[in-house]
């Protein structure tokens, strides 16, 4: 959320780009622990694989969605509204 507000402020941009991966990697163990506690003893590998497939699908679909939004609106900045 800080990156769009950084503008031309280099220090704020570097700070935002440093905090984002920290937050991402801090949340990853929590998300990957859900299949271990919610599924039967033999099912967690399938649950983790499902979580990874959903994430990879989002990484594949989002560039196409941004292209569609840019074509429809003529402005790439409106692509952020599609993600919320």
List, for residues 54-84, the tens digit of each pLDDT value. 989 988 988 888 888 888 888 777 766 665 5
> What distance in Å separates the CA atoms of residue 84 and residue 75, rounded to the nearest whole number?
17
Q: Residue 30 above 90 pLDDT? A: no
Instruction: Provide the mean pLDDT of the chain.
Output: 82
Give which of 54, 52, 32 is closest to 44, Cα–Cα.
32
pTM of the full structure:
0.60
Cβ-contact 82, 69 below 8 angstroms: yes
- Mean pLDDT in residue range 2-19: 76
């Amino acid at each position: 959320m800080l990156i769009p507000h950084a503008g031309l402020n280099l220090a704020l941009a570097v700070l935002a780009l440093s905090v984002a991966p920290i937050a991402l990697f801090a949340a990853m163990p929590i998300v990957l622990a859900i299949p271990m506690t919610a599924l039967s003893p033999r099912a967690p590998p399938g649950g983790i694989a499902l979580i990874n497939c959903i994430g990879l699908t989002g990484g594949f679909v989002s560039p196409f969605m941004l292209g569609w939004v840019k074509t429809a609106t003529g402005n790439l900045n409106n692509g952020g509204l599609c993600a919320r």
